Amino acid sequence: MLEGMNVDYDGLIPNNVGLSEDLRVRKALETWHPGYIDWWRDMGPEGFQQALVYLRTAVSVDPKGWAKFDYVKMPEYKWGILLAPAVEGRTIPFGKHKGEPVWQDVPGEYRAMLRRLLVIQGDTEPASVEQQRHLGATAPSLYDMRNLFQVNVEEGRHLWAMVYLLQKYFGTQGREEAEELLRRRSGHQDTPRMLGAFNEATPDWLSFFMFTYFTDRDGKMQLEALAQSGFDPLSRTCRFMLTEEAHHMFVGETGVSRVVERTCEAMKAAGIADPADIEAVRKLGVIDLPTIQKKINLHFSLTLDLFGNEISTNAANAFNAGLKGRYREDKLADDHQLLGDTYPVLRLVDGKIAEEQVPALSALNMRLRDDFVVDAAGGVSRWNKVIEKAGFAYRLTLPHVAFNRAIGEFSAVKADTMGNILLADEWAAHKDDFLPSADDNLYITSLMQPVHETGAYAGWIAAPKVGIDNKPGNFEYVKIHE
């Protein structure tokens, strides 16, 4: 096995970055550690801190070694600093420094910009743990509970990943930012998290699945863009984070898919032919497809806001500087500098939605967002296959990008899910057709009853096709009482 692949588990902080020789950073992280544990106990999963959870921990960043499963109490999870192996001779892949050797230290001129990128990415990680902290109490199965906690500890580790970069490369300022990351709180009136979608509640498990499907997918896109960075430690950090992020995508996609599957199965068994017959479907104790569609509308539109403004000089600057690339920049065949290029962007022109060619550099947010939409559509088509297989004509869709927006050009208007601009009273009259109503949410909440029996699942969700780590159906993923 190559040097630097194996993780040093001897110290307080598991790592493959030689922390035992780097006294300054080790001290900084060890000083930060108690505050992190306090944050985890205060704001991490409520209850279950003493439960034994069957979790995956990386023991090496080599493909064979990063999925070791074992029972762990969450506060004892080995949060560590893991970087993907360095690529020999790597050069900056894009922007005005394209072709120069990658930076192993922060270039002075980009210090502030890079710090900002790290803090924004870092802030989302603890935020989602805070948003999901009450869900353990209503887990539809031990399997789902385990998946929730796996997502939570890995978001915690992603916070560590960003904090390491801040403390290693940004001195006092970095240490202060690291403290601030523990101080902000999702949804808090005075000290909220930095981005809107991370201050929304995740009140039920369907929301959790939608969040991990859509919002964590924004995380994936951002990590993919940062994994291209000319600042090599950031690139290596993000590359390893992506392997963990994939599990979160899995929880979201299969979670929604299992809800859809169970609903179709129940409708079929009861002889219901019309999925829009909400009253009849709800009598079966499952979540009707139109309500699932509304949840998609909500979480998709909230997530689009995370990509920022349609036209952005920040994004252009970060790209020019070689700090943040495009989605899978290494697979794109162009000049990777985009100086004379244009990119089509949907904009609001004279109150109408129209496509405009804009300079490609200032449209980078939209380009990433478009890649996100394509990526997100893949799972929706899988969900539709489940519905199709069950013999129903209903189809789930992604709403128009102008729908329900709070950031960017479309925040100025109200649009329906097809992208038709609505007057204020039309919107008010139809809002509940597009987004979950208070009644919809009450109904979903009524279904959220915990199931703790090994191998059993709540009535509104199907069992998974394959267990975690190839475990059989009756495996006890969480030992609640020990």
Partner 1 sequence: MTAVARVKQHLIDPEICIRCNTCEATCPVGAITHDANNYVVDAAVCNFCMDCVAPCPTGSIDNWFMVEQPFTVDDQFGWNELPPRPAEGATESLEAIEDEASALLAEAHARAGGRARAPATASKPRINLFNRDNPAIATVTGNFRITAADAESDVRHIILDFGTVPFPVLEGQSIGILPPGTDAAGGPHAMRLYSIASSRDGERPNTNNLALTVKRVREPRDGGVFQGVASTYLCDLKLGEKVQVVGPYGATFLMPDDPDADIVMICTGTGAAPFRGFTERRRRTSSTVRGKLLMFFGARTPQELPYFGPLQKVPAGVLDKELVYSRRPGAPREYVQDRMRTRAGDVAELLRRETTHVFVCGLRGLEDGVEQAMSDIGRQYGIDWPALRARMLEGGRYHAETY
Burial classification of residue 324, based on how many CB atoms lie within 10 Å of its CB (0-12 exposed, 13-18 middle, 19 or more buried): buried
Q: Least Å distance between CB 469 and partner 1?
A: 8
Inter-axis angle of helices 111-131 and 216-226, nearest 10: 160
**Using CA of residue 435, residue 207, residue 390, residue 264, what is the dihedral sign?**
negative
Q: Least Å distance between CB 389 and partner 1?
A: 8
Q: Least Å distance between CB 250 and partner 1?
A: 4
Q: Should residue 470 be labelled a site residue for partner 1 when binding is judged by CB under 8 A?
A: yes
Q: Least Å distance between CB 151 and partner 1?
A: 11
**Residue 50 vs residues 35, 37, 480: alpha-carbon distances, Å:** 19, 14, 8
Q: Least Å distance between CB 84 and partner 1?
A: 10
Choosing from 273, 339, 374, 418, the residue that interacts with partner 1 (CB under 8 A) is 374
Q: Should residue 393 be labelled a site residue for partner 1 when binding is judged by CB under 8 A?
A: no
Which residue, 47 or 473, is less far from partner 1 as judged by CB? 473
Residues in 134-153 that interact with partner 1 by CB under 8 A:
none
Q: Should residue 249 be labelled a site residue for partner 1 when binding is judged by CB under 8 A?
A: yes
Segment interacting with partner 1, rule: CB under 8 A, options 75-83, 110-118, 240-248, 315-323: 240-248
Choosing from 183, 268, 283, 385, the residue that interacts with partner 1 (CB under 8 A) is 385
249 three-state secondary structure: helix
Q: Least Å distance between CB 198 and partner 1?
A: 22
Q: Least Å distance between CB 380 and partner 1?
A: 12
Segment interacting with partner 1, rule: CB under 8 A, options 128-136, 156-164, 409-417, 462-470: 462-470
Amino acid at 116: R
Residue 203 exposure: Cα atoms within 13 Å on the Cβ side: 13
Q: Should residue 373 be labelled a site residue for partner 1 when binding is judged by CB under 8 A?
A: no
Q: Should residue 327 be labelled a site residue for partner 1 when binding is judged by CB under 8 A?
A: no
Q: Should residue 378 be labelled a site residue for partner 1 when binding is judged by CB under 8 A?
A: yes
Q: Least Å distance between CB 235 and partner 1?
A: 13
- Phi, psi (degrees; rounded to nearest 5) at 259: -65, -45
Tokens of 439: 């009644």
Choosing from 109, 466, 481, 482, the residue that interacts with partner 1 (CB under 8 A) is 466
Choosing from 175, 192, 243, 411, the residue that interacts with partner 1 (CB under 8 A) is 243
Amino acid at 305: D
Q: Least Å distance between CB 217 and partner 1?
A: 10
CA 341 to chain centre: 30
Choosing from 1, 269, 333, 412, the residue that interacts with partner 1 (CB under 8 A) is 1
Which residue, 344 or 467, is less far from partner 1 as judged by CB? 467
Cα–Cα distance measured from residue 381 to residue 395, given in angstroms and rounded to the nearest whole number? 9
Choosing from 87, 112, 246, 429, the residue that interacts with partner 1 (CB under 8 A) is 246
Cα–Cα distance measured from residue 287 to residue 187, given in angstroms and rounded to the nearest whole number? 27
Q: Should residue 465 be labelled a site residue for partner 1 when binding is judged by CB under 8 A?
A: yes
Q: What is the DSSP string of 150-216?
A: HHHHHHHHHHHHHHHHHHHHSHHHHHHHHHHHHH--TT-SSS--SSGGGGS---SHHHHHHIIIIIH
**Residue 59 vs residues 56, 66, 79, 184, 238: alpha-carbon distances, Å:** 9, 5, 11, 31, 17
Which residue, 39 or 149, is less far from partner 1 as judged by CB? 149
Segment interacting with partner 1, rule: CB under 8 A, options 99-107, 243-251, 318-326, 362-370: 243-251
Which residue, 60 or 222, is less far from partner 1 as judged by CB? 60
Q: Could you tell me which residues come within 8 angstroms of residue 6 by beta carbon, excluding any fewer than 6 positions away?
A: 16, 59, 60, 62, 65
Which residue, 352 or 465, is less far from partner 1 as judged by CB? 465
**Using CA of residue 426, residue 427, residue 429, residue 430, what is the dihedral sign?**
positive
Q: Least Å distance between CB 253 and partner 1?
A: 5
Q: Specify whether the CB–CB gap between 471 and 465 falls below 8 A.
A: no
**Using CA of residue 273, residue 277, residue 283, residue 289, what is the dihedral sign?**
positive
At which residue do the structure tokens 């859809």 appear? Answer: 260
Count of residues that bind partner 1 according to CB under 8 A: 37
Which residue, 351 or 472, is less far from partner 1 as judged by CB? 472
Beta bridge partners of 353: 348
Q: Specify whether the CB–CB gap between 178 and 120 falls below 8 A.
A: no
Q: x-or-dash pattern for partner 1, window 251-290, by CB under 8 A?
A: --xx------------------------------------
Residues in 32-71 that interact with partner 1 by CB under 8 A:
59-60, 63-68, 70-71
**Using CA of residue 261, residue 267, residue 273, residue 274, what is the dihedral sign?**
negative
Cα–Cα distance measured from residue 61 to residue 240, given in angstroms and rounded to the nearest whole number? 7
Which parts of this chain interact with partner 1 (CB under 8 A)? 1, 6-7, 9, 59-60, 63-68, 70-71, 220, 239, 242-243, 245-247, 249-250, 253-254, 374-375, 378-379, 381, 385, 465-467, 470-472
